[in-house]
Amino acid sequence: MYDQQASQPTSRPNRPVFLTILAILAIIGGVLSLLGAILFFTTGGAGIFGSGGNAATVTAGVVLGFVGVILLVSGILDLAFGIGTLQGRVWAWILGILAQLLVLLSALIAIISGAFNHNFGGAISSNIVSIIIAAVILFYLNSHRVRAYFGRN
């Protein structure tokens, strides 16, 4: 027997305005991260290949290349989250959560690194804003309206 209720599409709640703003900011941040990655790759490459064998310059080039990789991954993640959110993709919620967890992890690593370098106070003060913003975004992404928008009740 044919069930008419099963054939009716379920309506998705409207996208919350702040989520739209967050998605647009993520896209902008993703583009900037990709541009930064290109800058770090070219600068790092110049340090590695144009150093004439100077160990300090080669090391700096490798570090810059590593930062470029981090920016590349971050940029792709931000772009995917932003575009996926605007299109209402369910997987975008997971990317948003992962991105903010990575921000918290990188801030924690920076704070621990600062403690080992006798700059604990500086590491905390320079990462506290990132920690607060990531925590607020995590809280917001787990709010009822946002979870409902992504179909995650």
Statement: residue 3 has pLDDT above 70: no
Share of the chain above pLDDT 90, in %: 47
Pinpoint the alpha helices (H) of the chain.
Answer: 4-7, 17-49, 55-86, 91-116, 120-141, 144-149
Positive or negative torsion for Cα 59, 103, 70, 44: negative
Statement: residue 2 has pLDDT above 50: no
Greater confidence (21 vs 118) lies with: 21
As a whole number of angstroms, the distance between CA 126 and CA 120 comes to 10
Q: Which two tokens stand for residue 38?
A: 């290109």
